[in-house]
A = this chain, B = another copy of it.
Amino acid sequence: MLSNFYDKAYELEKAFRESDDFKTLKELSDKVNADPASKQLFDSFRSVQMELQQKQMSGQQLTEEEITKAQQQVELIRQHEVIGKLMEQEQRVSMVINDINKIILKPLEEIYGNEQK
């Protein structure tokens, strides 16, 4: 039973890897990484986002200035042709992964009566 469960996980991983959604994500990511200027822009964007997230998670309030700056940066980076597409694709893939998680965790939800249902 257990081995069957892992087999199915590997099949799902393969199907994910071969999906259009993942392939598109990979292509866009490779494109960004292949161009040093784009890569630097995206890396610096990510590290600012991560920094703010960690600040929030540690219970600190973000300043108005930090929020405005972060929003401006998101707007700016969305207009970058390749990075904008990459970000859209990341969002799509993360929605798919969410769906998949909900499907797989349904049995647990039935036990714990999770209200997210």
Does A62 sit at the interface, judged by CB under 8 A? no
Inter-chain contacts of A18 with B (CB < 8 A): 1, 4
**A contact residues, total (Cβ < 8 Å):** 40
Q: How many copies of this chain does one complex carry?
A: 2
Inter-chain contacts of A22 with B (CB < 8 A): 107
Nearest-CB residue, chain B, relative to A25:
B111
Q: Would you list which residues of chain A between 1 and 37 have a CB under 8 Å from chain B?
A: 1-2, 4-13, 15-22, 25-26, 29
Which one, B11, B19, B107, contacts A11 given CB within 8 A?
Answer: B11
Given the contacts A107-B17, A107-B22, A96 and B8 also touching, CB distance less than 8 Å: no
Inter-chain contacts of A26 with B (CB < 8 A): 107, 111
Distance in angstroms between the alpha carbons of A15 and B8 in the assembled complex:
7
Distance in angstroms between the alpha carbons of A25 and B107 in the assembled complex:
10
Does A104 sit at the interface, judged by CB under 8 A? yes
Q: Would you list which residues of chain A between 87 and 117 have a CB under 8 Å from chain B?
A: 93, 96-97, 99-101, 103-108, 111
Residues of A bordering B, CB below 8 Å: 1-2, 4-13, 15-22, 25-26, 29, 57-60, 93, 96-97, 99-101, 103-108, 111
